[in-house]
Amino acid sequence: MSTGSASSDDTPAVFSTRLKAATWDAHHEAEQQGFTRALLDGSLPREGFAAMAAQHYFAYTALEEVGRALADDPVAAAVVDPALFRVPALERDLAALVGPDWRDLVSPSRPTRTYAARIEQMADDPAGYIAHHYTRYIGDLSGGRFIRRAAAHAYGLTDGTGLAFYAFDQVGSLPRFKEGYRARIDALGLDEAAQRRVVRETRLAYQLNTEVLADLERTHTTGLAA
C-alpha cells in the first residue's frame, strides 16, 4: 500500500463495510433467538407479537428522544431522520394489537429498561448513538420485511393493521435509502478510535436486543415445540 498519503483512500475497507463485518456474528445471534425463529415460522402466539411491539415502544421512545436532542450534532446528524421515526407507528400498532387502553397495559421488561437506559446515555456520545441507530433502523429496513410478511400471514393482518412499524412510507426505495445511509456514515471520516467505538457499541446494541428477545421468549413461547 502507498505510504505517501494519510487520505481515506488508504483505509482498507469503508467504514460501513467494516461495521457490518465486525458485527455480523452478533446479528446471527439475534436472528437465531427462539423468539425470532418462532416469529418467522408463524408459531409465535399473537400476544407474543404484541408484547414485542410494546417493548419496541419503550426502546424507540428513548432512541427518538435522544435523536431529537442530537439532531444538530455534526456526527449524529448523519443518521437522525424524522422519516424513520417509529413511535407514532408503534402507538397505532399497540392500539390495534393490545387495545385502546394499551398505555395502561404495557410496561418495559427489565432488559428493555437496561437497553433504553443505555440508549439514553448516548445523548453524550454521538458516535455511540450512531451504533444504536444503525442496529435498529437498518435492521428494521432489512429483516423487518420478513417479519412483516410472517406476521401478516400468521395473525391475518393482511390489510396492514398492527404492522405500521414495518411500513417505512416516508423513506422511498429501501435499497437506495440504505445505500445513502451507508454513504453518510462513511463520509463522516471517523478516525480509528471513533470507528472502534461504533463497532463496540453496535455489538452491545445487538447484545441488548438479544436479551430483550430472550426475555420475550421466556414469557411468550412456553409450550411451543423446541
Residue 162: which of 54, 37, 40, 64 has the closest Cα? Answer: 54
For the bound state, the minimum distance from the C-beta of residue 2 to ligand HEM, rounded and expressed in Å, comes to 28
* Per-position b or e across 79-108, b if 16+ CB within 10 A of its CB: bbbeebbbbebbbebbbbbbeeebeeebeb
Q: Is 146 in the site for ligand HEM (CB under 6 A)?
A: yes
Query: In the set 84, 130, 138, 163, which binds ligand HEM (CB under 6 A)?
Result: 138
At residue 184, what is the residue type? R
In the set 11, 14, 20, 200, which binds ligand HEM (CB under 6 A)?
Answer: 20
Q: Give the shortest CB-24-to-ligand HEM separation in angstroms.
A: 7
Dihedral pair phi/psi, residue 224, rounded to 5°: -80, 155
CB of 195 to ligand HEM, least distance (A): 14
- Kindly compute the dihedral angle of the four CA atoms of residues 45, 203, 177, 36, in this order, to the nearest 10 degrees: -10
Q: Between 100 and 175, name the residue whose CB sits nearer to ligand HEM.
A: 175
In angstroms, what is the minimal distance from the CB of 4 to ligand HEM? Answer: 31
- Applying CB under 6 A, does 36 fall inside the site for ligand HEM? yes
Q: Does 65 bind ligand HEM (CB under 6 A)?
A: no
Contact (CB, 8 A) for 155 and 85: no
Task: Tell me which stretch binds ligand HEM (CB under 6 A): 2-10, 59-67, 142-150, 166-174.
Answer: 142-150
What is the C-alpha separation between 125 and 173, in angstroms, rounded? 30
Residue 18 engages ligand HEM in binding (rule: CB under 6 A): no
Q: Considering beta carbons, is residue 8 or 32 the nearer one to ligand HEM?
A: 32
Q: Which of 61, 112, 195, 209 binds ligand HEM (CB under 6 A)?
A: 209
Residue 90's nearest CA partner among 171, 168, 157, 165 is 165
| Cα distance between residue 133 and residue 32, in whole Å | 21
Q: Is 31 in the site for ligand HEM (CB under 6 A)?
A: yes
> Residue 182: phi, psi to the nearest 5?
-60, -40
CA angle 189-191-192, nearest 5°?
Answer: 135
Give the footprint of ligand HEM on residues 188-207 (CB under 6 A). Answer: 206
Determine which residue in the list 55, 61, 109, 135 makes contact with ligand HEM, applying CB under 6 A. Answer: 135
Q: Which residues bind ligand HEM (CB under 6 A)?
A: 20, 27, 30-31, 36, 40, 134-136, 138-139, 142-143, 146-147, 206, 209
